[in-house]
Amino acid sequence: MEYFSSLAFVLKKEPSGEQDRVYTFYTKNYGKLNLLAVGSQKLTARLSGHLERPALVWIKFILGHRPKLVSALEENNFLPIKKNQSALLSSLKILSFLDEFTLEYQVDEKIWNLLFESFSFLEKNISHGKTIADFVYFYFQSQLIKISGWEPYLKDCLICHQKANYFNFGQKGLLCQKHRKKDDLFLTESGLKSLQLLFNSSLKNFQSLNSLKEILKNKEVLEKFLSDFSFFLKSDIIG
């Protein structure tokens, strides 16, 4: 029997029968994995205590017809995040979003680095409270969409390449006043700029609290755009 191991983030857990659980991990070396933890509902002190989200863990497991979790050792329990309600909520949304947008056994170093850096950034700047929590979630959504190959076109009109402020979800890009459709989402200049920064900038460009606040001036627009665009992608592309 061959054993495998990897550093991993816990994405979710679900009951399986009366005593078992299935844990979903995003691993550094194997991508997303669903692993059966036999008896984990009873053996919480030995195993499950290390797997409460958010958590970065070293896991040992067996692959095959029914992949199984053998052991888990906590690398980082992100206690500061767990003690902050806004940060905790943001971290759980990040993990759920990643689970929705990834398939099993698809290794992607860029996604792993994004996840690791996002949690490190959130933990390091936890003192900024809800500001950092909201920003990191928006940033993670934008960057995961980009890495996955579905980056929206936010430069100018898709048709005539003139200035544009209407986003068409079907065409995944901007349209100008002349070419826009009835249900296109209007984006203010400020809102469009915030989206462009989220999709095109690294976390190194957001080191000051003022830069985060500037982005979050358009919080409602960002929520609307990313929610609707993600929904479109999941229904139209992922199925």
Q: Which residues of 54-67 are buried (b: 16+ CB within 10 A; e: fewer)?
A: bbbbebebeeeeeb
Quick check: bond before 152 cis, omega within 30? no
Domains of the chain, CATH where assigned = 4-76 (2.40.50.140), 80-149+187-238 (no CATH)
The DSSP output letter for 236 is I
pLDDT, one tens digit for every residue, the chain (239 residues): 799 999 999 999 998 877 788 999 999 999 999 999 987 555 544 666 679 999 999 999 999 889 999 999 999 999 999 999 999 999 999 999 999 999 999 999 999 999 999 999 999 999 999 999 999 999 999 999 999 999 999 999 999 999 999 999 999 999 999 999 999 999 999 999 999 999 999 999 998 999 999 999 999 999 999 999 999 998 765 55
* Conformational region of residue 78, where left means phi above 0, alpha means psi within -120 to 50, and beta covers everything else: left
Quote the pTM value: 0.94
Q: Quick one: DSSP state of residue 111? A: H
Interatomic CA distance for residues 45 and 171, integer angstroms: 51
Q: Cα(184)–Cα(218) distance, rounded to whole angstroms?
A: 18
